[in-house]
């Protein structure tokens, strides 16, 4: 009988233990997943922000590190929702504007170079034999200068448009962030008002007991601390409570009054930030004003400095971008002036080629005008040595280049033509009507005479040496021969 009872008891205990184990496992299955589910959003946000430390954009990396350093889930969430896109947009804007302004500066330098080339061609177009070729070079340089000036103007226009688009996008993004955060703040404020009203009613329904002597001393010490460290309204309220010398008022001040006074101080600071801060600071202040006491406290203690840093970074970017655009605008204006000057030089070169004038116009700088005679004497045209000899004037006027094999023949024909025609050169092919050539003629004649005289004296000296050597050899031969 006892054995049967023992067996039944053992079976019942085993069944109870099994049921308890199953129930415990079921409860664990329900409770254990709930903890990671509650912690998952903050942990996931931190992991995402950590990944962004390796972003290709510099400002995104810096903003991610700043958010992680705060160890605040709210700040990290705000970074992921808003600040990372703001930082990326700032980096993109800076790179686009820098590229466009660099293109504008490069085109401006090209326009300047082409202007100098056109003026150089105009300076060398004073020679009637080469006027047409140099006029064509001046026209090509003027066209290139005009193209470069147009590129510079287009690049500056694109940079201005990119800067305006970035400002518009920035305002839209900030407006969307303000709307989102304001909705959250108002909902939290409504919930807080309900909570505070319920707590006040509970204190009325269930008054606190009269404090003991130790509680009175501790309450007054805390009140003195608030009087020493709080804001203006906190200090004023604490002083009034201490002067009243009522332990119940002191306890009520510590429970509710100090927080109401602190809220008033923070709200005044928030309104001041709303009036004096930058765009980010104003949005943050406006949201905090619509929000809870904790939002106001966070704004005054930490968030205002984050928002101020963001405003300074934005201001620095805008100032730098606008300064770069302003500089490139000036360069583009200079490129336009260079293009106009190059076109004027091309027109003057064309006029010289049409009139056959030999002297560059007086409107050119003296250093540029002096290039023409030197280029004619040395045979250089824009840095390229001309073929020796005189190219037929008609071919040059038509812009047709002479073949290398034809140069020698044309040179001989040009020298032989005056003699064959009775010493009268053909019109347009002689240097007699060229003042620059006439001015160089005496110097050239003197140079030729001096060169000719030097050659005669050299021949005579060689002959004298030969004769002297022969006479010396003959005398030696006769002395050695027997009588």
Q: Residues 64, 80: contact at Cβ < 8 Å?
A: no
Q: Residues 59, 87: contact at Cβ < 8 Å?
A: yes
Q: Kindly state whether residue 418 falls inside one of the protein's structural domains.
A: no
Query: Long-range contacts: 432-439, Cβ < 8 Å, 24+?
Result: 433/356, 433/358, 434/127, 434/128, 434/358, 435/358, 435/359, 436/126, 436/127, 436/358, 436/359, 436/372, 436/373, 436/376, 437/358, 437/376
User: 429 — phi, psi (to 5°)?
Assistant: -120, 5
Q: Residues 87, 57: contact at Cβ < 8 Å?
A: yes
Q: Kindly state whether residue 273 falls inside one of the protein's structural domains.
A: yes
DSSP tally for the chain: helices H, then strands E? 18, 2
CA–CA distance, 331 with 105 (Å, rounded to integer): 6
Q: What is the pLDDT of residue 396?
A: 36
Q: What is the pLDDT of residue 449?
A: 43
Q: What is the pLDDT of residue 457?
A: 73
Q: Kindly state whether residue 25 falls inside one of the protein's structural domains.
A: no
User: 384 — phi, psi (to 5°)?
Assistant: -120, 130
Rounded alpha-carbon distances, angstroms, from residue 354 to 174, 370, 401:
65, 21, 18
Q: Kindly state whether residue 394 falls inside one of the protein's structural domains.
A: no
CA–CA distance, 118 with 339 (Å, rounded to integer): 10
Q: What is the pLDDT of residue 36?
A: 45
CA–CA distance, 399 with 139 (Å, rounded to integer): 13
Name the domain count of the chain.
1
Q: Kindly state whether residue 382 falls inside one of the protein's structural domains.
A: no
Q: Kindly state whether residue 377 falls inside one of the protein's structural domains.
A: no
pLDDT averages per 10-residue partition of the chain, 483 residues: 57 59 53 48 92 94 95 94 96 96 96 95 85 92 96 97 96 95 96 94 89 92 94 94 90 93 96 96 97 96 95 96 96 96 94 71 52 43 35 37 39 37 38 40 40 63 75 67 50
Q: Residues 75, 67: contact at Cβ < 8 Å?
A: yes
CA–CA distance, 363 with 286 (Å, rounded to integer): 65
Q: Kindly state whether residue 476 falls inside one of the protein's structural domains.
A: no
Q: What is the pLDDT of residue 454?
A: 55
CA–CA distance, 22 with 30 (Å, rounded to integer): 12
From first CA to last CA, the distance across the chain in angstroms is: 182
Q: Kindly state whether residue 393 falls inside one of the protein's structural domains.
A: no
Number of Cα atoms under 13 Å in the Cβ half of residue 367: 1
In terms of Cα–Cα distance, which of 329, 327, 332 is closest to 145? Answer: 332
Q: What is the pLDDT of residue 9?
A: 54
Q: What is the pLDDT of residue 443?
A: 41
Q: Give 161's contacts (C-beta < 8 A, 6+ positions apart).
A: none
Domain with 43, as residue range(s), is 38-324
Query: Long-range contacts: 280-283, Cβ < 8 Å, 24+?
Result: 280/174, 280/307, 280/308, 280/310, 280/311, 280/314, 281/307, 281/308, 281/311, 283/174, 283/177, 283/178, 283/181, 283/307
pTM: 0.63
CA–CA distance, 99 with 101 (Å, rounded to integer): 6
Tokens representing residue 277 in the block? 């801060």
């Amino acid at each position: 009988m006892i054995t049967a009872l023992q067996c039944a008891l053992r079976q019942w205990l085993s069944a109870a233990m099994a049921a308890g184990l199953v129930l415990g496992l079921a409860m664990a299955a329900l409770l254990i997943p709930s903890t990671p589910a509650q912690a998952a959003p903050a942990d996931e946000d931190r992991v995402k922000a950590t990944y962004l430390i390796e972003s290709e954009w510099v400002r995104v990396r810096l903003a991610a590190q700043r958010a992680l350093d705060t160890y605040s889930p709210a700040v990290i969430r705000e970074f992921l929702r808003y600040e990372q896109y703001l930082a990326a947009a700032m980096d993109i804007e800076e790179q686009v504007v820098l590229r466009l302004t660099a293109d504008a500066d490069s085109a401006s330098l090209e326009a300047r170079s082409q202007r100098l080339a056109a003026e150089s061609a105009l300076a060398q177009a004073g020679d009637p034999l080469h006027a047409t070729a140099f006029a064509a070079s001046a026209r090509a340089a003027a066209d290139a200068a005009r193209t470069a000036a147009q590129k510079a103007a287009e690049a500056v226009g694109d940079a201005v448009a990119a800067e305006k688009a970035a400002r518009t996008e920035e305002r839209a993004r900030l407006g969307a962030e303000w709307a989102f955060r304001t909705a959250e703040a108002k909902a939290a404020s409504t919930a807080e008002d309900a909570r505070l009203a319920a707590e006040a009613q509970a204190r009325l329904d269930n008054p606190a007991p009269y404090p003991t002597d130790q509680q009175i001393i501790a309450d007054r010490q805390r009140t003195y601390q608030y009087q020493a460290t709080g804001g203006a309204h906190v200090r004023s309220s604490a002083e009034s409570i201490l002067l009243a010398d009522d332990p119940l008022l002191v306890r009520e001040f510590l429970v509710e009054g100090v927080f109401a006074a602190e809220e008033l101080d923070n709200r005044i600071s928030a309104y001041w930030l709303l009036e004096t801060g930058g765009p980010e600071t104003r949005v943050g202040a406006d949201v905090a004003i619509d929000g809870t006491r904790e939002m106001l406290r966070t704004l005054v203690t930490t968030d205002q400095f984050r928002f101020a840093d963001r405003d300074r970074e934005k201001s620095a970017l805008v100032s730098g971008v606008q300064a770069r655009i302003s500089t490139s605008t000036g360069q583009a204006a200079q490129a336009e002036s260079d293009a106009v000057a190059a076109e004027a030089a091309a027109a003057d070169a064309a006029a010289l080629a049409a009139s056959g004038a030999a002297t560059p116009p007086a409107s050119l700088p003296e250093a540029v005008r002096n290039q023409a005679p030197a280029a004619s004497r040395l045979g250089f045209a824009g840095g390229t040595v001309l073929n020796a000899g005189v190219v037929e004037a008609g071919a040059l006027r038509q812009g047709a280049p002479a073949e290398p094999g034809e140069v020698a023949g044309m040179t001989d024909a040009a020298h032989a033509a005056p003699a064959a025609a009775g010493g009268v050169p053909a019109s347009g092919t002689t240097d007699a009507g060229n003042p620059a050539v006439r001015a160089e003629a005496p110097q050239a004649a003197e140079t030729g005479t001096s060169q000719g005289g030097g050659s005669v004296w050299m021949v005579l000296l060689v002959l004298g040496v030969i004769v002297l050597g022969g006479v010396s050899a003959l005398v030696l031969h006769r002395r050695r021969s027997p009588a």
